Amino acid sequence: MNPLTDPFQSARRDAGVLRCPFHGEDILMLLRHEDVRKAAKDWNTFSSDAPFRVPIPSEEDVRSMRQLPIETDPPEHTAYRKIADPFFQRPKNPDFIARVEDLITRQLDTALQLPSLEVVHSFALPIQSHALTYLLNVPESEAATWIGWGIHVFKVSGTLKKGVALEDYLHAQFDRAQQSPGDDFFSALTTAEYQGRPLTRDEMMGFANLAFAGGRDTIIHTIACALGWLAEHPEALDWIREDPARITHASEEFFRVFMPLTHIGRVCPQPTDVQGESVPAGSRISLCWASANFDESAFASPHEVRLDRKPNPHLSFGFGPHLCMGAPHARLILRTLLRLVSERVSRLTTIEAVPRTEHEAVFSRTLGYDSLTLRFEPR
C-alpha cells in the first residue's frame, strides 16, 4: 500500500473551501490551486506575523520562540531571510553535492548488504541528519545526537516533550558559538545583525528551531514515499535508469504527490470574506498545499503519478515570499538518491509497510509511513 491519497477530492475543491475544527479552533481551508497561490502572495490579508500559529495545529506547547523567518511578513521577513540564506544556498556548491553523493552511497552500501532494511528510521533519518550537518556546517558527528531524537523533534513521549530537549541543545550550541565562534550556522547567527543590531537569543533560537523542525520530517517523508512507490512500480525504476535526465521531472512529481505538509496557517488581521465565508479578525485560514497539488485545473489527471509531468507547478515548497529556503537541499537529496538507486539497485521489494495517517474531524490523509521495510536488490 503506497501512501498516495487525496482526501479533498474534486467535489470539495469545486466548493473552494472546507471548514475544519483543529484543537477547538474552526479554520477555513483553501483548497484550490490558484486560490492558495493568491493567498500565499497576499500577506496583508493573510499574514504570517503570527508566532506559533503558522503551523496547524498551533505549537505554543512545543516551543517557546517565534520561528524565523517563517512567522514574519515582508519587509521583516525579507531582512530575516537574508541572514540565513547563504547556508541554504550551500547545496548548489560542488563540494556539498559530492558530500551528499558520498553519504547516500554509504547508506546504499549498507542497504544492499542486508536482507532487508527499515527505511524510515534506518535509512531516511540518517540521510536527513547527516545531510543537515553539511547544511549547517557543523561536525558530522552531531548527526548521532539528532538521529537519537527520532523522527519528530516535537513529539511528546510520556511527560517529556522533545521540543524541550531541542531547545536545550540549541542553547548549548549558541553558548559554544559565542565563546568560540567558527564558520558554522550557530556562529553566523551569533554575529549576525538585524536592522543594525545583533540578533537576540530568541531570534537565534527561532532560526535554529525552524532549521531542525522544518527540514526533518519533510525530507524523511519524501525519501520513504519515493522508495515505497518505486518498490510498487519496478518499471518506473527501469524507466529512470534508461535516461538519467528524467530524474529532475521524476523528483518534482514525487514532491507533488507526496506532499508531507497538509497545510500551513495564515492569520487575517482584519475581518475578511473568503469565498463567501466570513473570517473574523485574528482568526486563521489554511493554505491547503495537499489539496492544491491535486487540483484538476492545474494538473492533468492529478491522481496519476506521471514521472515525466511538465509543467508541474506544485506547491510542495510553498509559494510567494515564503518559498521554502530548504528547497535546494531537498531537491539535491532526492535527485541524488534517485540517480544512485537507479544505478545500483535492480529492484526494491516491500517487506512490510505501516502507513501513517492524519485524522481530523472532516478528513483523513495518509502521510507516508510509520515504518517501511524494503529489500534492496543489487544490480
Per-residue pLDDT of the chain (379 residues; tens, 9 = 90+): 455 678 898 878 999 999 999 988 999 999 999 999 999 999 999 999 999 999 998 998 889 999 999 999 999 999 999 999 999 999 999 999 999 999 999 999 999 999 999 999 999 999 999 999 999 999 999 999 999 988 877 654 444 455 678 999 999 999 999 999 999 999 999 999 999 999 999 999 999 999 998 888 899 999 999 999 999 999 999 999 999 999 999 999 999 999 999 999 999 999 999 999 999 999 999 999 999 999 999 999 999 999 999 999 999 999 999 999 999 999 999 999 999 999 999 999 999 999 999 999 999 999 889 999 999 999 9
Is position 55 within any domain?
yes
pLDDT of residue 2: 56
Is position 1 within any domain?
no
pLDDT of residue 149: 87
Q: Which three cell numbers stand for residue 45?
A: 490579508
pLDDT of residue 154: 65
pLDDT of residue 215: 85
Is position 231 within any domain?
yes
Is position 3 within any domain?
no
pLDDT of residue 3: 58
Is position 2 within any domain?
no
- Residue 154 CA to residue 161 CA, distance in Å, equals 6
Q: Which three cell numbers stand for residue 336?
A: 541524488
Domain count across the chain: 1
The boundaries of the domain holding residue 211 are: 9-378
Is position 259 within any domain?
yes
Q: Scanning the structure block, which residue is given the C-alpha cell 527561532?
A: 206
- Label residues 291-309 b or e (16+ Cβ within 10 Å = b): bbbbbeebbeebeebbbeb
Residue 149 CB-half CA count within 13 A: 26
Using DSSP's 3-state secondary structure scheme, residue 166 falls into: helix
**What CATH number is associated with residue 358?**
1.10.630.10
Is position 4 within any domain?
no
CB-based contacts of 271: which residues, under 8 Å, 6+ apart?
A: 278, 279, 280, 281
DSSP labels for 81-129?
Answer: HHHHHHHHTGGGSHHHHHHHHHHHHHHHHHHHHSS-EEHIIIIIHHHHH
Is position 368 within any domain?
yes
| Per-residue CA distances from 173 to 141, 146, 182, 185, 324 (Å) | 14, 13, 11, 10, 24
pTM metric for this prediction: 0.95
